[in-house]
Structure 1
Amino acid sequence: MSMFPKISLRHEVEKYLKEGFVNKEQFNGLNVPILQHPDLQDVLLIPVIGPRKNIKKQHCEAIVGAQCGNAVLRGAHVYVPGIVSASKFMKAGDVISVYSDIKGKCKKGAKEFDGTKVFLGNGISELSRKEIFSGLPELRGIGIRMTEPIYLSPSFDNVLPSYLFLQNLPSAVVAHVLDPQPGEKILDLCAAPGGKTTHIAALMHDQGEVIALDKISNKVEKIKQNALLLGLNSIKAFCFDGTKALKLDMVKDAEGKPPFLPESFDRILLDAPCSGMGQRPNMACSWTLKEVTSYQPLQRKLFTVAVELLKPGGVLVYSTCTISLAENEEQVAWALRTFPYLQLQPQEPQIGGEGMLGAGLSLEQLKQLQRFDPSVVPLRDTDIDALRDARIEDMIWLANKDCIGFFIAKFIKCKST
């Protein structure tokens, strides 16, 4: 039995969800089952069909950048700025095959490309080649409408935007692990774009105060937009560098803006900036060793601030969307050595696997960590017939495992610093 109450919706909204989403979702004539997660009552699981191997490739081609390719694999159409190359005689209305240039070798405006490319599916061009590369600002909308993507998933664009928020499963798990309670003061130290922030506020029934910080102003505006869209009034978002969020003098700030006095928060989420090597899909593997190793010092600086801002008895959740030992288990070992008044805590729900060996943590400590590792799931093709024949238990197991790479650690601060 879940410790969380069933999400409360208006009757007509619940009826609509039951009829249209909890049971099935239509996509190009296909019935895709939508499942409620058994351990997270506010989470619906959306199966994805693919990769489909029976799509006939066309002679007319378009090449897109790696980041655009990632978006297409997630269900997006191709927008004009993402198109790098198009066949010489491509015109509006043509059926074309779309490929991703994963090494960034294709020259802008090329008429053909024989380098390394990954097939993303077929679509219909909404513009001619000449229009695509004209540079006119009014032609920055959809350039290719994907009709046969290699991955099929239902579109939730503009579907109950005030009630539904698309997230990866581990990102939804984090807010439950934090376990926010109504009336508490909670800090989301690196909050943009606000998915976890809004989830925290929703789990608190919008009762209390959720402070969201990010140092990039347009991302802070996105947090505010998401809070407004979801009707959440407990969120206050500020454009502020989290490493400077601790107030060094003891003069009280009555306005409630950052920086904050020590021991101001009941719970803190540090979803830290990281190398992002757990993100999927990702076809742009351009990290340098310097970039990959640059995150650990920043994470420790943010962690130190978070510990100082946490009340005695408060909960600190540290998470990343990367897979490296240095940014995950090594950070936990460092934190336990550096802050002896922190204790590692078991997590609820425990959906991911335990931590990885190599950082000097005990087996018991590793069991208290949560690591989502998609490499444990063998790559397989999923078509609509496989979904129809699959058991619900198997689909939920796959959803729990075949997700982004992610890491979660939960601490409690035992005494005042």
Structure 2
Amino acid sequence: MSFFPKISFQYEVEEYLTKVFRNKELITALGTQEAENKYQSLLSHLSHPPGFTTVRVNTHLASVKHVKKLLFEEIQKQFKGLCVPVLEHPKLQDILLIPVIGPRRDLKRHASEVIVGAQCGYAVLRGAHVYVPGIVSTSRFVKAGDLVSVYSDIEGKCKRGAKEFDGVKVFLGNGISELSRSEIFCSTGPLRGLGIRMIEPVYLSPSFDNVLPSHLFLQNLPSVVVSHVLNPQPGEKILDMCAAPGGKTTHVATLMHDQ
């Protein structure tokens, strides 16, 4: 059963996916019901975070085994002793995998609420804390140190600075507010920095803010696979026509030993 609402797309994207999963050839091969099941399964998976967090090791500076040990120790500190393994990818020698725990359905929801934008919400589901620019609204009397429940405004309809919001929102977990409502919304200039420190996320995934920055690069698996498929060699000239922000260019340089 899906924990989050079904993902919604722009019209063009939904039209494309419908053509792919409901075309005559696929329906003939699988049957109408099986083709529809595959489409609905895709929508469900896209509305949830991946099962693993993937990080690429900078093999110029340290071995994968050494970084794996350091990362395990860092995660132990974050999760206060909860044993979450760090796994080596079976095919990609420079990739480490951290299982994502969730969804945790039994978390208590608190009266004080913080609403964040959809992009911020995606980051929280991947292990990030909430930074001030991502906060859209808070309950009326939120103070620094308060325990708050964090929600994502997935439709983008919450007004900035609102004191309550009854629209469609997705529960992301609980955290501790680092600032008061007045500091967030009544500042003389745009605020930066940490807004909500997440302590009970629905999906438990480590935060990589300043975690082994010289040894690790947080990178989605498809972006890693691309460079390995290319198999660049030292001395070759590579033109990356889709550079930023996925990490492919620096990965290519690493595989070429910076030559």
TM-score by length of 1: 0.45
Change (3 A) 1:24 1:31: farther
Match of 1:100 in 2: 152
Pairwise CA distance, 1:138: 6.5
User: Are the aligned partners of 1:63 and 1:100 in contact in 2 as well (CA < 8 Å)?
Assistant: yes
Change (3 A) 1:147 1:202: same
1:47 is aligned to 2:82: no
Written as runs of structure 1 = structure 2, the 5 A alignment for 1:276-315 is: none
Match of 2:36 in 1: none
Aligned partners of 1:146 and 1:107: how far apart in 2? 23
Match of 2:75 in 1: 25
Pairwise CA distance, 1:21: 3.5
Q: Which residue of the other structure, out of 173, 192, 197, is the alignment partner of 1:140?
A: 192
Aligned partners of 1:37 and 1:24: how far apart in 2? 19
1:198 is aligned to 2:236: no
> Could you list the runs of 5+ residues in structure 2 that have no partner in the other structure?
1-57
- SS where residue 155 of structure 2 aligns? coil
Q: Which residue of the other structure, out of 62, 79, 85, is the alignment partner of 2:137?
A: 85
Change (3 A) 1:101 1:206: same
Pairwise CA distance, 1:131: 1.4
User: Are the aligned partners of 1:23 and 1:33 in contact in 2 as well (CA < 8 Å)?
Assistant: no
Aligned partners of 1:148 and 1:41: how far apart in 2? 32
User: Are the aligned partners of 1:24 and 1:34 in contact in 2 as well (CA < 8 Å)?
Assistant: no
> Could you list the runs of 5+ residues in structure 1 that have no partner in the other structure?
1-6, 208-417
Change (3 A) 1:14 1:106: closer
User: Are the aligned partners of 1:22 and 1:36 in contact in 2 as well (CA < 8 Å)?
Assistant: no
Match of 2:178 in 1: 126
Match of 1:182 in 2: 234
Change (3 A) 1:88 1:160: closer
Aligned partners of 2:73 and 2:186: how far apart in 1? 46
Aligned partners of 1:8 and 1:92: how far apart in 2? 41
Aligned partners of 1:70 and 1:83: how far apart in 2? 13
User: Are the aligned partners of 2:153 and 2:170 in contact in 1 as well (CA < 8 Å)?
Assistant: yes
Written as runs of structure 1 = structure 2, the 5 A alignment for 1:3-82 is: 16-21=66-71, 25-26=75-76, 27-29=78-80, 30-82=82-134
Matched letter for residue 168 of structure 1: N
Pairwise CA distance, 1:55: 0.8
Pairwise CA distance, 1:136: 3.0
Pairwise CA distance, 1:10: 5.9
> Which deviations, in whole Å up to 9, do the C-alpha atoms of 1:335-383 show, x marking residues without a partner?
xxxxxxxxxxxxxxxxxxxxxxxxxxxxxxxxxxxxxxxxxxxxxxxxx
1:173 is aligned to 2:228: no
Match of 1:278 in 2: none
Which runs of 4 or more aligned residues in structure 1 lie more than 6 Å from their structure 2 counterparts after TM superposition? none
Identity percentage of aligned residues? 71
For these two proteins, the number of residue pairs brought into alignment is 201
1:111 is aligned to 2:111: no
Match of 2:23 in 1: none
Q: Which protein is bigger by CA-based radius of gyration? A: 1
- SS where residue 146 of structure 1 aligns? strand
Matched letter for residue 141 of structure 1: G
Match of 1:345 in 2: none
Matched letter for residue 28 of structure 1: F
- SS where residue 216 of structure 2 aligns? coil
> Which deviations, in whole Å up to 9, do the C-alpha atoms of 1:315-340 show, x marking residues without a partner?
xxxxxxxxxxxxxxxxxxxxxxxxxx
